């Protein structure tokens, strides 16, 4: 049994070239600034399924940038 999930992410279309090509017929080029994309570490954060957990995470990230 699976639970509902909210996934927040952003990605350049070139990160998923096969899917984009299948959907559009065009393979996206990887921009120069993302040339090392596939060598970068993947980052993700697991959260409880509650809005307050997401709010806490966002606030913590903002506070970390301003420190």
Q: Which pLDDT score is estimated for 38?
A: 80
What is the average per-residue pLDDT within 56-63? 89
Q: Is 26 helix (H, G, I), strand (E, B) or coil?
A: coil
Return mean pLDDT, the chain: 85
pLDDT band per the 50, 70, 90 thresholds, residue 48: very high
> How far is Cα 40 from Cα 51, in angstroms, rounded to an integer?
29
Which of 65, 21, 61, 15 lies closest to 39, judged by CA? 15
Terminus-to-terminus CA distance in the chain, angstroms?
41
Which residue do the tokens 């952003």 mark? 10
pLDDT single digits (tens) 6-33: 777 777 888 889 999 999 999 998 889 8
């Amino acid at each position: 049994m699976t639970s509902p999930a909210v996934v927040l992410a952003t990605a350049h279309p070139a990160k998923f070239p096969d899917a984009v090509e299948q959907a559009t017929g065009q393979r996206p080029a990887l921009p120069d600034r993302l040339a090392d994309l596939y060598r970068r570490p993947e980052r993700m954060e697991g959260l409880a399924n509650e809005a307050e957990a997401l709010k806490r995470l966002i606030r913590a990230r903002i506070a970390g940038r301003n420190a």
